[in-house]
Homo-oligomer: A and B are copies of this chain.
Amino acid sequence: MKKRVNELTGVKEIARRANVSIATVDRVLHNRKGVSKQTKEKILGIIEELNYEPNLLAQRLASRKILRLATLIPEISKETSFWDAPLKGIEQADKEIKQFGIIIDKYFYDQNKIESFVEQTKIILESNPDGILLAPSFIEESVRFTEKCRELNIPYVLIDSDLPNGGSLSYIGPNLYHSGYLAAHLVSYLIKNGEKILIVNISREIDNHHHLLKKEEGFRAYFDKHKKSDNILKIDIRDTDLKSIEKYLSNIFTEHNDIRIVFVTNSRVSKVAHFIDSSKKDVILIGYDFLKENIEYMDKGIIDFLVCQKPKQQGYRGLISLYQHLAFSSPIEKIYFMPIDILTKENSAFYRN
């Protein structure tokens, strides 16, 4: 059924009722000067009464503004394809809001090279964007960068991990501590008395990436609280190639033959899975992230649980938030923790990253 809309609403109606032109109504709507106090109040009254809401379509259409947003995230490396997902989210958001007059410039840095990060931030600042989406892997450098953004009045949204200095328009990402805590809770169902738990950190920059540290902290906190922290082992592996990783693991497994649960604090869990698989250990393996290689090991039954936090959504949502803030001054949630999703062999096929 296709009928005509004939609502008596909108600026035109307001203008009619107030006996002014729509231009005047427009002025008070945007809080611009050039309207007498009297008229302004009258118009505001009518707006209230009609409880007028601007037509977003017409608003965007008529606006000749164009917004330029910049995104800065790690490049997709051979080591991990994790950042592929946020990028997909960014691209989807790009596609959706492109026609609303939004231009998105994507920048990338090498997660193993601080310089590359700093370099990109400089380029971004020179381009003077209207808003920035940032994955702040390097804490100090990111803090410095965001401080400059604030000086320049450029709003920014953080994804994947937060920064200690506040001031972002929004943080969209995991609560790392709780994600570790949850993993521990899961483990508590799976372990029996006397069995040992092994925490595995794999990263070239373990101490710079609070991601790992926070997760481990949450994980341990659970067992501390339940007074069962004495059977937890841990190993830090600072080489990310398969051979080194397997060597380290092999060592610790010969040293302790009663390890029953292995908790890998990031997406590198597939490499541990490779070791477990080839050495035919009977352990429960828990790790992070919905990556192709991880899912394969889950389907094979080597990885038992994966904890995921919708990385694609993070990229998508981050951009949409920036857009809504800049285009409509919509209020944005200051902290948006992503759900902590638990994946197993039996529900991963239905997962939406």
Contacts and interface: CB of A to CB of B under 8 A. Distances in A.
Interface string A193-207: 000000000000000
Contact of A182 (B53, B68, B222, B347): B347
Contacts of A68: 1-2
Contact of A352 (B130, B339, B351): B339
Contacts of A190: 189-190
A3 B66 contact: yes
B1 A175 contact: no
A353 to B, nearest CB: 10
Interface in A304-318: 304
A123 interface: no
Contact of A57 (B66, B99, B341): B99
Nearest to A98: B53
Contacts of A237: none
Nearest to A192: B192
Contacts of A38: none
A5 B61 contact: no
A231 B344 CA distance: 23
A338 interface: yes
A122 interface: no
A57 B100 contact: yes
A151 to B, nearest CB: 17
Contacts of A230: none
Nearest to A1: B65
Nearest to A3: B66
A284 B186 CA distance: 13
A337 interface: yes
A100 B1 CA distance: 13
A109 interface: no
B55 A99 contact: yes
A349 B341 CA distance: 12
Q: Interface centre among A55, A57, A130, A175, by most B CB within 10 Å?
A: A57
A185 B349 CA distance: 14
A339 B350 contact: yes
A345 interface: yes
A346 interface: yes
A260 interface: no
A176 to B, nearest CB: 12
Nearest to A190: B189
A33 interface: no
A347 B351 contact: no
Contacts of A8: none
Nearest to A337: B350
Contacts of A37: none
Given A53-B99, A57-B57, A352-B339, A5 B347 contact: no
Given A57-B99, A185-B344, A344-B182, A64 B5 contact: yes
Contacts of A99: 53, 55-57
Given A4-B65, A342-B342, 19 more contacts: A1-B65, A1-B66, A1-B67, A1-B128, A5-B101, A57-B99, A58-B61, A61-B61, A178-B346, A178-B349, A182-B344, A185-B344, A185-B345, A222-B346, A337-B350, A338-B350, A340-B346, A340-B350, A341-B347
